[in-house]
Structure 1
């Protein structure tokens, strides 16, 4: 999930030679698109549903 978040957010750490095969592959798909990234933490939860739906 962290790599996906960084890729969609165009994070500079993914623009290195080490990750070039990953980033070049998806650049055309996400270029020019507006993407809303939401940061969620799952600390202290046992499931994704618990983190999302707890009040």
Structure 2
């Protein structure tokens, strides 16, 4: 009986660890994507400032 409980606890712990690492990876991925989007927006803004005066008017 005790060993069965121990097995359940072990599987739950490893499951939680897997979820934790997955969340950590996705969070890092999203942070990376956010930084790239910010960089892209900055570049687009610079291009708009540089060439926008000619193209807008």
Q: TM-score range by the shorter chain?
A: under 0.3
Structure with bigger helix share is 2
Where relative contact order (Cα < 8 A, 6+ residues apart) is larger, the structure is 1
Q: TM-score, normalization: structure 1?
A: 0.23
The structure number with the bigger radius of gyration is 2
